[in-house]
Amino acid sequence: MTLSVSSPARGITTVTLADPERRNAISADLVGALAEALDDLGKDPDTRAVLLTHTGTTFCAGADLKAPPDPRDFVRLLRQLVTLPKPVVARVDGHVRAGGLGLLGACDMAVAGPAASFSFTEVHIGVAPAVISMPLLPRLDPSAASRYYLTGERFEGAEAARIGLVTAYAADVDAALEPILDGLRAAAPQALAETKKLLTARVLDAFDDHSDALISLSARLFGSAEAREGMAAFLERRERPWVL
């Protein structure tokens, strides 16, 4: 099982990334299951908002290098999160890497806990954070994006909040989520949907303007000799040849 979906609890439906053995990596199966769940929840009158969370110590490790999704399907999923007429709130108390940061960036809000850590690891395996840039760059502090995109450094929840990657960092994630979820429960469904459109307009502009070019870039990089070597080194747990 890659995903579980709860029944609505006072209007909040919890969607759980539930493949901890594979570190909730983004596979074709996960993309399909999440897209189907979101389609259903977008039409569900009992769901006021979606809480996206995870099992295990990793929220999402990025693309499943053994069974990666079609980049076009992943882009459609990211856009689906952005355009869903219900707010999506991420609960993150584990590691988030590479494409997992794209899922996070496509959510409307996110709260990170003390076990959360983040890294744009793409440059370490010979690719670039291409398609995930569409939901992320309109929201991130530009200087921080330059640093962490280019270096692949790991950073923690407090820094993620400072640079705009998450809404808040808290020692108690669930306590920090309570006022956010209660606020959504008190809001009218139509008002939430229309307000979300206002907030996501710049992100959707990025999708409209850059999807085709970034999908092509992603496919080209993943098919390159450098990326093949980088992914092989990662899977074999050995050093990449370009590390100085």
- Residue 67, pLDDT score: 84
Domains of the chain, earliest start first: 3-173 (3.90.226.10)
Find out whether 59 and 100 touch, Cβ atoms under 8 Å: yes
Q: Tell me which of 21, 36, 122, 159 is the catalytic residue.
A: 122
SS3 state at 59: strand
Predicted pLDDT of residue 1? 75
Q: What is the pLDDT of residue 239?
A: 95
Q: Assess whether 122 carries a catalytic annotation.
A: yes
pLDDT value of residue 31: 97
**Can you read off the two tokens belonging to residue 169?**
């960092």
pLDDT of residue 66: 86
The number of beta carbons lying within 10 Å of the beta carbon of residue 115 is 15
Read off the tokens for 225: 């000799």
Would you write out the chain's pLDDT as a tens digit for each of its 244 residues? Answer: 799 999 999 999 999 999 999 999 999 999 999 999 999 999 999 999 999 999 999 999 999 988 889 999 999 999 999 999 999 999 999 999 999 999 999 999 999 999 999 999 999 999 999 999 999 999 999 999 999 999 999 999 999 999 999 999 999 999 999 999 999 999 999 999 999 999 999 999 999 999 999 999 999 999 999 999 999 999 999 999 999 9
- Residue 215 makes CB contacts below 8 A (sequence gap 6+) with 71, 72, 75, 130, 131
